[in-house]
Structure 1
Amino acid sequence: MTADRSTPVPPRNGAGNTALTAGIVALVFAFVPVIGDFVAIPAGLVAVVCGWIGLERVDRGTATHRREALIGACLGVAALFAVFVVFAAVHSSTG
């Protein structure tokens, strides 16, 4: 008589947590005109990619942080959009 004592696998929530953190950083730096571009664009891309990975892991059942992954991805998209708007406003010709 052997009992199956398999230990439960901990959820893989790192991608969702990274997406949320990167999304917050990207959105904060998105409104800094010049230096913010060097921080917000990479952080926004990391947030979107990690959010996507986190949502895929939730769909497969290996992660539990759906909300964090989704919010992080949305913040990343919002930050990238804000960088575009700030860039367009700063570099628009006044003519």
Structure 2
Amino acid sequence: MLEVLTDRQLELLRMIASGMTQARVAEEVGRSETTVNQMMHVIRQRLGAASTAEAVAAAGIVQVPVVRRQRGKRTPPPDDDPRFAIRGMRQVRDRHGIIRWEKA
């Protein structure tokens, strides 16, 4: 089945299968996101697949599970990031690791 795909198309399909978004793939290969979207459309047509997941399965590429953050969980900003400073206040971390603000 892979003989119908060019090396570049196979590379794109592997990148997508590894969990990269089309925007990230476009950045990696130096093309626009629209071009990558069109290339994925051609790949799906050549493999006779209705979806990208089906194309990955048809190509026999083993998908690597992507670990995603849980919804609602936010990573706190680093303590030394000036973008998150409040004028006249400073961050203090207590013995439990909880950050609170107090007057400087």
TM-score computed with the length of structure 1 as normaliser: 0.29
Looking at secondary structure, tell me which structure has more strand per residue: 2
TM-score computed with the length of structure 2 as normaliser: 0.27
When Rg is computed on C-alpha atoms for both structures, the one with the higher figure is 2
Looking at secondary structure, tell me which structure has more helix per residue: 1
Higher RCO, Cα 8 Å, sep 6+: 1
